[in-house]
Structure 1
Amino acid sequence: MGIPFRITRTFAKISLLFLAMVINSCNTLKRVGENELLLKKNAIYADGKAVKDENIESLVFQEPNSTILGYPLRLNLYYLAKKNPDSSFQAWLYRKEKREQRLIDFLSKKQVDRLGESFLVSGLSEWLKKIGESPVIIDTVKTKRSLERLRAYYGSKGYFNNNTTYVIDTVKKKRGAIEYKIDLGQPFSIDSISRNIASKAIDSIYLLHTENAFVKRGDQFDLSFFAQERERLSAIFRNSGIYNFQESSISYDIAADTTKLADDQKMNIELNIENFKRRGDSAVTTSDYKVYKFNNVNIYTDYLYDERDSEQKFVRYDNYTIFYHNKLRFKPKTLVNAVFFEKDSIYREINRTRTYRQITNLGVFKYPTITSVPSSENGLDANIYLAARPKYSLGTSFEVTRSNIQQVGLALSPSLQARNLFSGAENLSIAGRVSIGSSNDPSIIDNRFFNIQEYGIDLNLDIPRLWFPFFDTSRIIPSYTLPKTRISLGTSFQKNIGLDKQAFNTVLSYNWIPSEFIKHNIELLNVQFVRNVNPDRFFNVYRNSFSQLNSIAATDVYSGNSSLSDFYESPVGNTPRLTIPSGTTGFTNAILNNEVPSTREDFESVSVIEERRQRLTENNLIFASNYTLNLNNREGLTDNKFFQFRFKFESAGNLLSAISQIIPFNKNENENFLVFGVPYSQYLKTEFDYVKYWSISRNNVLALRTFFGIAIPYGNSNNIPFVRSYFAGGANDIRAWSPYSLGPGRTDAINDFNEANLKISLNLEYRFPLLGNLKGALFADAGNIWNVFDNVEDPAATFTGFRSLEDIALGTGFGLRYDFTYFVLRADLGFKTYNPAEEISKRWLTDFNFTNAVLQIGINYPF
């Protein structure tokens, strides 16, 4: 989501002048004492080799002041604050004998007393100190504490005999650097591993799972491996029937091997797993761990924490007992499919997690409560307590928007949610949208301020399983993968927006998530019908196409032809202009039907314009199916070392093409098959989208995105529908160009909305902190769109081979982001670094200036 703006040269000059004034007014040493050193650098050496590990560097207490491209911005902001603003104010107040009294007479005694606490006196300084950063003065006490941390860290890695020292060097006047030096010595390794396990059940399970242990004989000692091994064993035991296993039961005895030579540095490890401990009122008791099986699985559907169990009814279904009040509102099969505990099966922690996820995924219950209670010596009762959400709920949202279509827009979106519609946790949502906006488009005759409107309605039915007639999908796609079927119906209507499209769509889709890493989505049926209500407005809306056509018609060859005079608004000789739509249609037909003589160049130009007009004004019927695979190994919002991959394949028109072999469809003059009077689209489309993040340091991130997409028309189509084509430019794409303004190929944005059916893009962005929640970024975006395998013949717009890669545009720039926790507000300033639309000698850096820069405003990160 983004909005492009142009930057003026005056604004740029003022900004640079202000920045220069700030830089020149600051001195990074003005608050560093005579016998103090400002910390400029930390360096860690292990056995003489520089250490660049971010985790090890974080052990040092003092770090140099942060910089932005080498400039200590936060330090200098801190220096802008007055050291003692109240004292300065008092000195100013009493500098002149009658100043205080004059202020009291003008204000009041109380207000004068408060001036010292005001924002202008002390508040501004406090704010600057808060967003700034005080100078980091080298403190030997903190340096020694850093040494202790480094010593402990390397000790945890098996270097028990390491020695640490530090050296402080004066690099410049009042500036110093600290070198931490660690002599590691020989690491200790594991010579033997023995076990002391109190419970026979635990011992048996342990022996079955020794192969993937983190602590192994012969490995170098590493304390982190012991923590990972404790977590591994705990997960194994809890998934093998030990429902009450305590991780604190696991401990290790570590001792040096005294039978070896002193310099052999071997260690003997003993694994201890104690019995279960229960803390009572007066004592701690112990008992053997046991493998538990479920005796009963109970589901309470109306659990409100204060209900009386005696009033509940129950029904038994597949060894499950379902309790309810008054009337059971849910199908037993739906409830049972969401629970992964089974009678006579052993307890598994993973089944508990899956039950939580699936019940939450149903969307009809609040977060469930699950307990496992011993009911016999080796038996458990599983109790699942559910509290239903309201059957119906209403919602509404209000938005204020701005885009390249409208200056300002207001949108109201009411919604109704109906849960558990057919007693199987089916959820129906009905959402409407009504929006009005203001546009200064000269093609709009409506003179009212809010002169554009759009309204629509969407219905979505979510079914918590893969609904497929006559086939049970649970055998191949189990319910723990959170399968969901969605049936969608929607329609929207536009007025005074483009050609006033009316769109109708329906989707039957399936998605499931086998793991946190993988997500599948299949749209078995995706039907979209787009009707252009006012195709005669084409040349009013697409002004570039009109300008091209009118420039041909305005030449003396045609404007002086009396047979064409009815097509012009003004008399011949007074800047002729074609009327819309009769004049544009008449002139086009006259040229293409050879009713008037024309040059080959004019004929081809008019032919291209007419082909585009027909494509963008014809109604579209898209009958498609697609599959999307998403891979994502991100482990949370703070994870900055991950990748995302998305693959999508779509096929359109094949089913209708097959039906046309059985049922004779009508055809139009181009021999295209018609369904309900509309030629259906037929194409194959595929996309590859890859995102990779690298953590350069704790707060600095390098992000990469690559995209490749191609759509190939065939059969009943010789081009791709506009709604399925690609465009370049915008806040999430090539940011030095506005949306739809780049390409295709090396063409210079010859159309109002430039699109094509092949796209390649690559985005690289370096993100770094500035002030608190304000972040900065440097970016480079490369890419373009082309026509390929369709009816466009312009060599400047088509992809003809590897040489067409010379048409890849490059935009570079910088941006600011402010993190509001729930979303990020983003501003990016892009400069045209390489513009393929220019002559070869002028492509590099010709438009690299603030005048031609584009400011993109967006929400959240671009990728």
Structure 2
Amino acid sequence: MLAEAGAIAEVAAIAEASAPVKTGAIAETGAPAGVGAPASVIETEVESAWHLAPSQQIQNATQDGNGNEKDDRRIRRVRFIGNQAFSDGELRAIVRTRPNRQFLGIPGLTFWYQLHRIHSRIGEPPSLLDRNVLERDIERLTNFYESRGFRSAVIDTNITFFDRERLEVSFMIREGRQSQIRDVYYSGMPRTGSDNDPVAFFKDSDIVTRAINDTSFHSGVAFTYEEIAEERNRLIAHLRNNGYASVTRDSVIAVVREDTVNALQLDVLFRIFPGRIYTFGDIYVELRGPDGEFERVRRDTLTGPPHAEDPYKTVINVDETARTRTSLIARQLLFKPGTQYDNSAYRNSVNQFQNLGMLVVNQFGHTPDGSLPDFTNEILPVYVRMQTLPKHRIQLDFFGMRRLGFGAGAGIRYINNNLFQGAENFEVGLQGNFEYVSGTLLNSTELSTAYTVQRLNFPFRHLDQTPFFLNASTRYRFSWAQSRQENFTINANFRFSNQFEVRHRPQMASLLDFIELDWLDASATSEFERNLRDRFDEIIVERILEDFNPQFSSIIRYTFRYAMTDLIKRDYGFFSESSIELGGTIPFLMDRFIFDPGDVQGTVPSISLSDSTLTYSQFVRVSFDYRKYTPVLENGTFAWRAFAGYAHAFGVTRQIPLNRRFFAGGSNDIRGWPPLRLGPADLDASAGEVPINGGDLKLAGFLEYRHIMFHNFIGTNWGIAGFTDFGNIWYGTRSAFDEGKFRFDEFYNQIAVGSGFGLRLDWEYLVFRIDVAYRVHDLQRGWFNNSNPYWHFGIGHSF
């Protein structure tokens, strides 16, 4: 055991021998009853009573079917007076005494109650005052304040009668001062195999600042039940990951002591009872086929290093209909029989199985029937039962689209989720769409195939299944596409990519496009070329037509993604994505050292496309995307997004490839403009002022308020939204075109602004939206000079 300071013994003796203090005593960490945790987590003695002056006594009370007394008057408003540490919204979410729902949170606008008055089967019945609920609300608020460290907070109520039908409830709050943790002590913590520096482990705590000795630390942070609970959970996780498998909530107890002089200063002692160290026993794995069959079974028993420590073993039973190699199953196990128990390795193994995508885990435990383990035995066997999914699947997709005009499309995909009996995923897909624009039928076709394995392949194989590189996959994809667009035709576009994806944590992922090769053969339409020659001189025309020369490009790209939100609902938390990429390196090396050593032409020989050479561009591209979602009012969410991106070309070619430029406009971008048709700068694409599409720099911001109006109405939630989008794109410093470049003394006048409102149909796994936007700042007409509506449709929230 680690050495225990004398101060610990003093804290423990006082906590155990003396009578409990008035508002804080011996505690098991957590939150109090009423705010999301069991009442037994922290025991307190709080005397709170509900006192109403005689003039405030509730009259005309009746009883509902449950014996609760209710007043005949409707609750018009609930107020909170005296709260400074917490907002009205935070406190309103705790109490159950509430008025009728208000339309968009506007006081007095009780739309649903008025519907109920028209007909009793619709809308919302009147919200009446319930004395018992009000009394429990006082307890809830008291417990909430105490859990946040306001241990002397006093909650009272005041009821004001407006008339014979309506009343107002006010919660009168005297918060007092928040308690602080002065010192933290740890008693009974064993030295584990990973404790090369035990003080460093304790100092990783969020409630510790500096060490007094090995087990005593100064704190100075605010006292809250959440902080204490997080520290207890951290201690439990550390113990479980170091052999102490039987540790539970009761194994770590927090003792809280008030200072005798200043009651706001608290000392916290964590008393730890780790129990014994456990070892993984034999592992038994059972994999059934898609139909649950388990008759023709192939058994493999793995013994000895590297599979197990003697005399333990891993037994893998696979039904023949599962068509899966036992080596795949063994590779997902991150622990070995006979080694010290590690709960993180145990749980990550479950995630490894689930992420294979070709099976489901039905049971994972320490007993054959899934019951609680027998902790009287120091050896814990592991039992795993799984079942494969159907191997073959065909998926059909139909969709509508509106980009430059209205269109539709369809696609078909064949999916094999276990191609070579090692969880290899193989896909072949064909997709096509058409779009009708100004009397012209545009269309595109794409044929693609992809092969994915659930591990890291060369050159990162050595990182596979290391602690920070779990749940990894390697994907190879090849595609061919043709497309007829408004001003040009893509005769052929071949693309090959090799991508590695690692999910470091459930919310955090890295994607590395290790290599992406793109061969593009495009040609401008003759009408487009004629229009160019009518508007620009020959030098500018040649630079514009460079976009349509046959091209060869290579890209290496790293993307880091961090999301703490529901990616469908997007009603809380945040989402961020950052990426950096380097383009043109492979064709440059071919140009420099193979085809014309010592000389750089900016081209490489073509193999079979329509021109004798292929141009390429060298460039670096970075982007940052951050989105924040904040719940506001009732059933509302305020969302905002910030985006910045920059691409810089270097080398012989001065232009960024078309598919790596930034674009603006559309239903998922700055609404009020068609897709890809805003900018660069104040150039008007519809008037033919844009020499080349896209830009090298993009700045954009998005604001949106979403509010659910009707829950489960005709099978879905109906909501409305109001939004404002702003931003633009610009050419970079190396661009050959002077107009449209980013300039610090002009760019703020070239920010386009679109604003409007929309309808949201919110199913559990799908959001459909319709938006109408107006150009608040039209870059050609100015501010508030364009009253034309622009309609946008989309699946999912715009951001």
TM-score normalised by the shorter chain: which range applies? Answer: 0.7 to 0.9
Cα drift, residue 190 of structure 1: 7.6
C-alpha spacing 1:342/1:309, structure 2 compared with 1 (3 Å): farther
Partner of residue 167, structure 1: 158
Of 330, 350, 359, 2:353 maps to 359
Partner of residue 683, structure 1: 618
Counterpart of 1:416, as a letter, is I
Counterpart of 1:76, as a letter, is F
In structure 2, stretches of 5+ residues that fail to align are 1-69, 209-216, 309-313, 368-373, 712-716
In structure 1, stretches of 5+ residues that fail to align are 1-32, 86-124, 276-288, 445-451, 553-601
SS of 1:237 mapped into structure 2: helix
Q: Is the 8 A contact 1:499 1:537 kept in 2?
A: yes
Partner of residue 20, structure 2: none
- Supply the distance in 1 between the matched residues of 2:376 and 2:734 (Cα, whole angstroms): 73
How far does the alpha carbon of each residue in 1:706-753 deviate from its partner, in whole angstroms, 9 at most, with x for none? 112222233342322322222211111111212122211111223488
C-alpha spacing 1:627/1:701, structure 2 compared with 1 (3 Å): same
215-224 or 708-717: bigger deviation = 215-224
- Supply the distance in 2 between the matched residues of 1:172 and 1:43 (Cα, whole angstroms): 21
Q: Is the 8 A contact 1:456 1:490 kept in 2?
A: yes
Partner of residue 758, structure 2: 815
Q: Is the 8 A contact 1:65 1:72 kept in 2?
A: no
Of 565, 577, 595, 1:664 maps to 595
Cα drift, residue 351 of structure 1: 0.9
Partner of residue 700, structure 2: 761
SS of 1:499 mapped into structure 2: strand
- Supply the distance in 1 between the matched residues of 2:323 and 2:347 (Cα, whole angstroms): 25
- Supply the distance in 1 between the matched residues of 2:228 and 2:622 (Cα, whole angstroms): 46
Cα drift, residue 496 of structure 1: 7.9
Of 423, 426, 443, 2:424 maps to 426
Q: How big is the alpha-carbon RMSD for the aligned residues of Structure 1 and Structure 2?
A: 4.3
Summarize the alignment of residues 692-711 of structure 1 with structure 2, pairs less than 5 Å apart: 692-697=628-633, 699-711=635-647
Summarize the alignment of residues 536-685 of structure 1 with structure 2, pairs less than 5 Å apart: 537-539=525-527, 542=528, 552=534, 604-605=536-537, 607-609=539-541, 611-612=543-544, 614-634=545-565, 640-664=571-595, 672-676=603-607, 677-684=612-619, 685=621
Cα drift, residue 150 of structure 1: 2.2
1:323 aligned onto 2:312: no
SS of 2:414 mapped into structure 1: strand
Partner of residue 393, structure 1: 392
Partner of residue 718, structure 1: 654
Q: Is the 8 A contact 1:756 1:786 kept in 2?
A: yes
- Supply the distance in 1 between the matched residues of 2:182 and 2:363 (Cα, whole angstroms): 46
- Supply the distance in 2 between the matched residues of 1:758 and 1:339 (Cα, whole angstroms): 47
- Supply the distance in 1 between the matched residues of 2:667 and 2:773 (Cα, whole angstroms): 10
How far does the alpha carbon of each residue in 1:477-499 deviate from its partner, in whole angstroms, 9 at most, with x for none? 55852222111111123468752
Q: Is the 8 A contact 2:489 2:525 kept in 1?
A: yes
Partner of residue 416, structure 1: 415
Q: Is the 8 A contact 1:764 1:781 kept in 2?
A: yes
SS of 1:708 mapped into structure 2: strand
The structure whose residues are more often helix, as a share, is 1
- Supply the distance in 1 between the matched residues of 2:483 and 2:115 (Cα, whole angstroms): 54
Cα drift, residue 291 of structure 1: 0.7
C-alpha spacing 1:200/1:674, structure 2 compared with 1 (3 Å): closer
1:380 aligned onto 2:370: no
Counterpart of 2:784, as a letter, is L
- Supply the distance in 2 between the matched residues of 1:494 and 1:218 (Cα, whole angstroms): 64
How far does the alpha carbon of each residue in 1:118-152 deviate from its partner, in whole angstroms, 9 at most, with x for none? xxxxxxx63xx2xx344445555544442232233
Partner of residue 519, structure 1: 509
Of 330, 342, 347, 1:336 maps to 330
Percent identical among aligned pairs is 21
Of 51, 63, 68, 2:98 maps to 63
Summarize the alignment of residues 129-528 of structure 1 with structure 2, pairs less than 5 Å apart: 129=122, 132-137=123-128, 142-157=133-148, 162-169=153-160, 176-184=167-175, 212=205, 222-248=224-250, 289-302=275-288, 307=294, 312-316=299-303, 318-320=306-308, 321-324=314-317, 334-367=328-361, 369-372=363-366, 377-390=377-390, 392-404=391-403, 407-421=406-420, 423-433=421-431, 435=432, 437=434, 439=436, 441-443=438-440, 454-468=444-458, 472-474=461-463, 478=467, 480-494=469-483, 499-528=489-518
1:76 aligned onto 2:86: no
- Supply the distance in 2 between the matched residues of 1:357 and 1:723 (Cα, whole angstroms): 36
Partner of residue 42, structure 1: 79
Counterpart of 1:748, as a letter, is D
SS of 2:402 mapped into structure 1: coil
Counterpart of 1:318, as a letter, is P
Cα drift, residue 790 of structure 1: 4.5
How far does the alpha carbon of each residue in 1:617-642 deviate from its partner, in whole angstroms, 9 at most, with x for none? 33332222222122334488778553
SS of 2:502 mapped into structure 1: strand
How far does the alpha carbon of each residue in 1:519-573 deviate from its partner, in whole angstroms, 9 at most, with x for none? 22111211122223xx46342xx5xx76675xx5xxxxxxxxxxxxxxxxxxxxx
C-alpha spacing 1:823/1:140, structure 2 compared with 1 (3 Å): same
How far does the alpha carbon of each residue in 1:71-95 deviate from its partner, in whole angstroms, 9 at most, with x for none? 4697235424565x6xxxxxxxxxx
Cα drift, residue 395 of structure 1: 1.1
Cα drift, residue 681 of structure 1: 2.0
Counterpart of 2:480, as a letter, is T
Cα drift, residue 326 of structure 1: 7.9
Counterpart of 1:621, as a letter, is F
Partner of residue 10, structure 2: none
The TM-score normalised by the length of structure 1 is: 0.70
Partner of residue 746, structure 1: 682
- Supply the distance in 2 between the matched residues of 1:67 and 1:375 (Cα, whole angstroms): 54
The structure whose residues are more often strand, as a share, is 2
Partner of residue 727, structure 1: 663
SS of 1:511 mapped into structure 2: strand
Counterpart of 2:82, as a letter, is Y
How far does the alpha carbon of each residue in 1:599-633 deviate from its partner, in whole angstroms, 9 at most, with x for none? xxx6x456545543x23433332222222122334
C-alpha spacing 1:754/1:163, structure 2 compared with 1 (3 Å): same
How far does the alpha carbon of each residue in 1:416-460 deviate from its partner, in whole angstroms, 9 at most, with x for none? 315142x54332222233x3546364345xxxxxxx654432211
SS of 2:237 mapped into structure 1: helix
The TM-score normalised by the length of structure 2 is: 0.75
- Supply the distance in 2 between the matched residues of 1:748 and 1:659 (Cα, whole angstroms): 39
- Supply the distance in 1 between the matched residues of 2:561 and 2:794 (Cα, whole angstroms): 24
- Supply the distance in 1 between the matched residues of 2:183 and 2:597 (Cα, whole angstroms): 82
SS of 1:402 mapped into structure 2: strand
Aligned residues: 689
- Supply the distance in 1 between the matched residues of 2:133 and 2:108 (Cα, whole angstroms): 24
Counterpart of 1:694, as a letter, is T
Higher relative contact order (CA 8 A, sep 6+): 1
Q: Is the 8 A contact 1:338 1:479 kept in 2?
A: no
74-83 or 144-153: bigger deviation = 74-83
Partner of residue 732, structure 2: 788
Cα drift, residue 805 of structure 1: 3.0
Cα drift, residue 51 of structure 1: 4.5
Q: Is the 8 A contact 1:827 1:856 kept in 2?
A: yes
C-alpha spacing 1:529/1:402, structure 2 compared with 1 (3 Å): same
Summarize the alignment of residues 110-125 of structure 1 with structure 2, pairs less than 5 Å apart: none
